[in-house]
Amino acid sequence: EWERAGVFKKIYKSILKYYDVKNKIAWDWASMDSAMVKAPKGGT
C-alpha cells in the first residue's frame, strides 16, 4: 500500500535533497552500477 502510494520514493528524494544541501553531493563524479544476472546456484 505504501509502495503504491509512492511513500518510500518521496522519503528517499527528501533525504537525498537534504543531504545534497548540507554536504553538496559531487554529481559530476557520482555513478551507479548494477548487475541483473541471476546468481550461480540460485544465490545459495
Q: What is the pLDDT of residues 4-29, one digit of tens each?
A: 999 999 999 999 899 888 888 777 77
Judge whether 39 lies within some domain: no
Contact between 26 and 20 (Cβ < 8 Å): no
Of the two residues 4 and 33, the one the predictor is more confident about is 4
Judge whether 43 lies within some domain: no
pTM of the complete model:
0.50
Judge whether 4 lies within some domain: yes
Q: What does the chain come to in residues?
A: 44
Could you give the CA distance from residue 24 to residue 41 in angstroms, rounded to a whole number?
42
First to last CA, the chain: 30
Q: Could you list the residue range(s) of the whole structural domain that residue 12 is in? A: 1-27
Contact between 25 and 19 (Cβ < 8 Å): yes
Judge whether 33 lies within some domain: no
Judge whether 8 lies within some domain: yes
